[in-house]
Structure 1
Amino acid sequence: MVSRPGQLMRLPDWRARLAAEMDRQRRDPFAWGKADCALGLAAGAVKALTGADPCTSWRGSYKTAAGARRALHKRGFSTLADAVAAIAPEIHPDDADVGDIGVIESDGPMKQALCVVDAAGLIVITESGHGRRPREDMQRAFKVG
């Protein structure tokens, strides 16, 4: 990760950039290390909002669930939420706004997944592209810019 909590700043045109990024990745099927909840969905949203890619050093470091876990632990993190906390300040989920990053419980191998907050709830990544979850599913939240 490339910055410390609180250093990310939203660009003036962040709303248009976020909408374009979500449209771009909307139909990308899930792929570990490319179009997953971290390197695809969340990092794509952060880059759209701020112009900074928080996952540059992670790209190409894994292609499987086991590889993702190894990459996470190699960098000193126990959970996806710990990794996000290294770049963005944690806020109460009720205070999360459009573009902020959330954490939800998952049945997948990581046991949690990252999501992006939008006006209607949460955007998540699924096997076939973007999906939706209700905002109440968000367990933790992190302020992006």
Structure 2
Amino acid sequence: MRAPDWEDRLATYLDRVAEEPFAWGSNDCALFASGGIRAMTGVDPGADFRGAYDTRQGSAEALRTFGEGTLLKTTTAWLGNSKHVSQAKRGDVVMKDRHTLGICVGLHSLFVGEEHGHHGTVYVPTADCTRAFTIPFDAPSDGEDR
């Protein structure tokens, strides 16, 4: 569940990684998204993946070994079923295609990559993404046990 100060925690994380270049096994799309989830919730769903590979082929093997076989199936296992990208909100994990994860920051989403010589996070219109996954909020408590 998202921490009460999740927005500040997410902003701090995104600032920290803004200039980090893409690197398989340490700062690829899945681990970037997992780091955002960790910042907002304190739980790192990608912990088993970190440092376990350093190539594209290694990432596919890691998805089979530590995940559910594909990035989509693994992300669904982490966060539950996706929703239409038009419902994406700040802090949601988004998928640009079946192979790329990012973090929604509003009308744009951040992905790890390179653009115009800049290595680090790059902005992509959220509308160009294909799926969104919600990181749950704590349910408001009314004092009753359910």
Q: d(CA) in 1 for partners of 2:28 and 2:103?
A: 13
Which one of the candidate residues 108, 111, 129 is aligned to 1:124?
111
Identity %: 37
Kindly name which structure, 1 or 2, has the bigger radius of gyration based on alpha carbons.
2
Contact 2:85 2:131 survives alignment (8 Å): yes
Q: d(CA) in 2 for partners of 1:132 and 1:48?
A: 19
Q: 1:92 aligned to 2:84?
A: yes
Q: 1:28 aligned to 2:20?
A: yes
The Cα offsets for residues 36-65 of structure 1, whole Å up to 9 and x where unpaired, read as 1111x2011101111111111112211110
More relative contact order in 1 or in 2 (CA 8 Å, sep 6+)? 1
Change in 2 beyond 3 A, CA 1:76/1:23: closer
The Cα offsets for residues 82-135 of structure 1, whole Å up to 9 and x where unpaired, read as 111001122221111111101112xxxxx6200100123110110410001111
Number of residue-to-residue matches in the alignment: 131
Indicate the larger mover: 115-124 or 67-76.
67-76
Please report the RMSD computed on the Cα atoms of aligned residues, expressed in angstroms.
Answer: 1.4
Q: d(CA) in 2 for partners of 1:17 and 1:143?
A: 17
Once the two structures are TM-superposed, the CA of residue 136 in structure 1 deviates from its matched residue by: 1.6
**How does the TM-score come out when normalised to structure 2?**
0.84
Contact 2:107 2:127 survives alignment (8 Å): no
- Unaligned 5+ segments in structure 2 are 137-146
Once the two structures are TM-superposed, the CA of residue 76 in structure 1 deviates from its matched residue by: 5.5
**How does the TM-score come out when normalised to structure 1?**
0.85
